Amino acid sequence: MPETEIKQLMTSLGESINEALADSPKINDRIQEIRDAGYEVFLIIEAQIGFGRKVQRNADPALGSAEEPVQLRITSEDAKFLKALKISS
């Protein structure tokens, strides 16, 4: 995949995240409450997104089978962030 296409996909992902946050009623309600209290709100959210080429796991038996289940450990902060993005398990 050409680098320009990857950059387009990353830009699209960033825009989707921004839209999800902007469309969140909970976030908008909390921001409005702060404004109603007389404060200006500046919301800056930093997301780190990493990616790499897929590795063919079957090519090296030491890497294991491609059918092995992947275990994901999520902290409570991770869960809150995903819920704010309207992502559920």
pLDDT at 6: 86
**With left for phi above 0 and alpha for psi between -120 and 50, is residue 64 left, alpha or beta?**
left
- pLDDT tens by residue, 4-16: 888 898 889 888 9
Domain ranges of the chain: 3-84
Sorted by sequence, the CB contacts under 8 Å of residue 35 that are 6+ apart come out as 41
What angle (nearest 5°) sits at the alpha carbon of residue 85, between those of residues 8 and 42? Answer: 85
- pLDDT tens by residue, 34-73: 999 999 998 888 777 777 777 766 555 555 555 677 777 8
